[in-house]
A and B are shown apart, each in its own frame.
Chain A
């Protein structure tokens, strides 16, 4: 006999409704209108991972040469191309890191450390999904990923993006309890927002973008490379304009096996040139956005959210 299905949340439980209009003003360092961060996902996909019953790692039987090899291409070929481009435009990456890469390809970690890039956790492998993990298993996985980053990259990570965007109901709670400061797992806003977590830690969402994520654009939405460049520029132009009123955040999540391909790099470069050609742009990292927000805007946001939470809302940061 089947056990009755566990109740499922209707929403994430991490935030309440908070209208974009009329929020307390966000100011970025140097009076910038917009915080721009680039989040290269540097990932390791295993050739033969254990099978998760809820999600197969590969669409092809072992060895899944097409899928595995294009991702390996990213690390062998695409990474250097993308890193050189970010160097050229003065951008530091905030790496969404499959932390096993610290051991598989420490050469890449060393180059990014030299550049003072940020490393945040994207799980251990992008072929190990959170689905079906017990709380203890997920905590162990997150903790091991954080320890690996600290050991190899020199600093404990502040941010988390679940591996392959695979979540449990507790993912954000666990990361906050383990000392994390921000999450990239929610796509509900163009500004940082306070998040309510189980342990009550001060914890924020830093906007990450699925729409501008190159894998989503190229693989899911079948976007043409030059149009992808236009999308980045269009997004920047709008958020830059709105940032005159209150600071916005723009994230460009990339993958070395997507933008690092020769037929896609030029359009990406055009977009970076457009963004960095403006004044009033804070070129920064996810961690710096989170820290600035926590120090200067978090409490006012919580108070403003509480004002909105009167009419029956059950979520929102508790005082």
Chain B
């Protein structure tokens, strides 16, 4: 039997996007953004601090989730390594390079590892909501009440513990349900980082009010490059440096550009990978063209410069 005739009907074929979440515009058509101090290139480093439960129950498995029959000791402990060891290496490397980072934190870790939360707070840097754990995907058939409850519980704990307003959000796996933007807006979130369709922040519409999306690139993320693509660590570092140089040249010609760098302690905090991370951080730190920025600052600056 042939396909239903709906396959030849195109109700959303129209100018712009096939949805109403954001306006269509090409990056180069927008007025140039200006970063503080006249720096051409903003660099935003985000560290995702994650808890992968050994007994995941969600219908959808996120990248990095358990894959073996319970008890999956090998995957659980390798991810936990990031929270016990790897994160301290990353924090030290950031301090040595004198580069700031933000931290997207699974709230479960604040409960489970108070000392880890202390270490992050002592280091400094903006916290982003990263849901409860890597077993609470905001995706598919998750009932809205359940999603709302996870968001509320996560943000309450992160805000209480950090003393920060926590206005940013990174959904686990960058997955959203159809209602995630509305629920986040209602929970006091100003921006999220889930949509990788741009390199600068842009306005995102929800029925609960306006949000911003600040894209956190997946394509040069440590986990994606090293674990999904199986590229050598040295190649990951080359890729980040190639991206840095290209964006810097573009920023000088076209106005403020952003390099977003997503790191995971359980990936990059391994001993054999650290020197490659250090090479990347040193390369960034050696440039006087860089504004090393917190995500909330980037969004606020973009919002302030938005044409009216």
Contact = CB atoms under 8 A, between A and B. Distances in A.
A52 interface: yes
Interface string B128-155: 0000000000011100000000000000
A65 B194 contact: yes
Contacts of A144: 8
A80 B30 CA distance: 13
Contact of A77 (B199, B218, B231, B259): B199
A50 B26 contact: no
A4 interface: no
Interface string B174-213: 1111100000000000000011111100000000000000
Sort A-B residue pairs by CB-CB distance and give the 8 closest, nearest first: A61-B140, A134-B2, A262-B243, A72-B197, A263-B243, A263-B239, A69-B197, A69-B195
A53 to B, nearest CB: 8
A137 B7 CA distance: 9
Contact of B4 (A44, A50, A105, A264): A50
Contacts, number: 156
A79 interface: yes
Main secondary structure of the interface of A (DSSP, over half): helix
B78 interface: no
B83 to A, nearest CB: 24
Interface string A248-292: 000000000000011111110000000000000000000000000
A56 interface: no
Contact of A70 (B27, B177, B197, B232): B197
B198 A47 contact: no
Interface residues of A, number: 53
A261 B199 CA distance: 10
Given A65-B195, A100-B13, A104-B14, A76 B230 contact: no
Interface of A: 44, 46-48, 50, 52, 60-63, 65-66, 68-73, 75-77, 79-81, 100, 103-108, 124-125, 128, 132-134, 137, 140-141, 144, 218, 222, 224-226, 261-267
B7 to A, nearest CB: 6
A228 to B, nearest CB: 11
Given A70-B219, A104-B14, A262-B243, A76 B198 contact: yes
Contacts of A61: 60, 139-141
A128 B13 CA distance: 13
Interface of B: 1-8, 10, 12-19, 24-29, 60, 139-141, 173-178, 194-199, 215, 217-220, 228-232, 235, 238-240, 242-247, 250, 259
Given A60-B175, A141-B8, A262-B246, A104 B198 contact: no
A141 B2 CA distance: 14
Residue of B13, B14, B141, B217 with most chain A CB atoms under a 10 A cut-off: B13
Contact of B2 (A62, A125, A137): A137
A222 to B, nearest CB: 5
Contacts of B175: 60, 65-66
Given A60-B175, A222-B230, A266 B197 contact: no
B13 A73 contact: no
A66 B218 CA distance: 9
A133 B218 contact: no
B247 A63 contact: no
A107 B28 CA distance: 12
A63 B178 contact: yes
Given A66-B175, A262-B246, A50 B6 contact: yes
Contact of A266 (B178, B235, B242): B242
Contacts of B19: 47-48, 63
A266 B195 CA distance: 25
